Amino acid sequence: MSIIPTSSEQDQQENEIQQPPPRYLKDVSKRATNLEEKITFTFMDELQRVVGEKTNEFICDCSNRVEEFCPLNALNWAKMDLDAKKSLYDKILAKYNLPEKIGGADATDALIFQCSILYRYWRFRLKEKYYRGKTKAEARDYRPSTIDPIQWDWLVYEYWSSPKQEAIRKVNTANKLKLTKTPDNGAKSKARIFYDMINEPPIVATQVKEHGEDTLSVKDAYMKVLKPKSGYVRGLRPGVRPPTKVRTQGDDMDRVQLSTQVHTLSASNEELRASNEQLKASNEELKASIEELKAEFSRMNMEAIDRENKLREDMLKCLRK
């Protein structure tokens, strides 16, 4: 008698489809098979993050170790079982060669920080794939085969459905709706981007390596780069077509001479303008002096008239006597 699987069992079987190998296996295949030799990688001290060529291998390996040793029924990373953390760190330190100090802090602190991010992201992936958009009963039946049932029930009924997590979910959803742009770096961390930018070879050195040393002078380089184009006029609005006749080198020299003459005339005009300003100032001073002389002459004329009138009056008085 054949047993027909239910819909939940069919979903469970589809869920158990074998996943493709992680990307770090590509890096592992390139290394030597000497398992006793520890792998050395680079940390960025400022951000305490792994960078460099072996970043994918380290992150993917740490993610697998987190899923192997860390239980899901922990409130957060700080509340994680200490024995599980110790087993996790011992497993990673046995394979990788960490520096003693990273950014002035102990290397274990950077490892703790990295593992806490991976643990949080692991639970986030599980929630997005197996819990979001489902009822609690559906999520319980949709449990991944690699997850312990007790831990999964705790996630579904106590952690993800708690009022605190619901409040956090609403805030995160509102903040995500406010975003106008999505990050274009994908899963690549800021530390790895900064590290690649710092170690990127200089553009000039790369060009010299590809094309050889540059023998052009600055003027020749400008003339070569900014020469007239057949399709557009440089510096003008779109749609302006260049003349059909391309300028020759002689035409360019004539343009340089005309440009020099224009600059000379402009300098002369500036000098004339300055001279005119000085003459205007002198004229203003002369006008002020003339006005002062007119006022003085008018005052003297009035005084003379007053003296003449007084003398006439005195003479009339004498004649009357």
**CA distance linking residue 77 with residue 66, whole number of Å:** 11
Residues 13-28 have a mean pLDDT of 48
Kindly report, residue by residue over 217-234, the tens digit of the pLDDT.
Answer: 777 877 777 776 666 666
The structure tokens 């493709």 sit at: 20
Query: What is the reported pLDDT for 24?
Result: 46
Query: What is the reported pLDDT for 150?
Result: 92
The amino acid sitting at 118 is L
Two tokens at 87? Answer: 């087993």
Total Cβ atoms within 10 A of residue 213: 5
Taking Cα atoms as reference points, which of 28, 56, 23 lies closest to residue 192?
56
Kindly report, residue by residue over 141-163, the tens digit of the pLDDT.
Answer: 888 888 999 999 999 999 988 88
Q: Where are the alpha helices (DSSP H) in the chain?
A: 7-15, 24-30, 55-69, 82-95, 107-130, 136-141, 149-154, 163-178, 190-198, 203-211, 218-225, 249-320
Kindly report, residue by residue over 154-194, the tens digit of the pLDDT.
Answer: 999 999 888 898 898 889 888 888 887 766 666 677 777 77
Task: Using pLDDT thresholds of 50, 70 and 90, give the confidence band for residue 29.
Answer: very low
Integer angstrom CA distances of residue 295 from 225, 282, 299? 70, 20, 6
**CA distance linking residue 148 with residue 73, whole number of Å:** 10
Task: Using pLDDT thresholds of 50, 70 and 90, give the confidence band for residue 41.
Answer: low
Query: What is the reported pLDDT for 3?
Result: 41
For the ranges 27-41, 58-72, 74-88, 216-230, the lowest mean pLDDT is seen at 27-41
DSSP codes joined into one string, 158-224: IITTSHHHHHHHHHHHHHHHH--S--SSTT--HHHHHHHHHTSPPHHHHHHHHH------HHHHHHH
Query: What is the reported pLDDT for 195?
Result: 72
Residues 62-67 have a mean pLDDT of 89
Give the β-pairing of 42-44 and 39-40: unpaired
Buried b or exposed e, range 50-77, using 16+ CB within 10 angstroms: bbeebbbbbbbbbbebbeebbebebeeb
For the ranges 7-16, 113-122, 199-208, 301-310, the lowest mean pLDDT is seen at 7-16
Checking if the pLDDT of 93 tops 50, the result is: yes
Domain extents for the chain?
19-198
Kindly report, residue by residue over 262-315, the tens digit of the pLDDT.
Answer: 888 888 889 899 888 989 988 888 988 898 888 888 888 898 888 888 888 888
Checking if the pLDDT of 53 tops 80, the result is: no
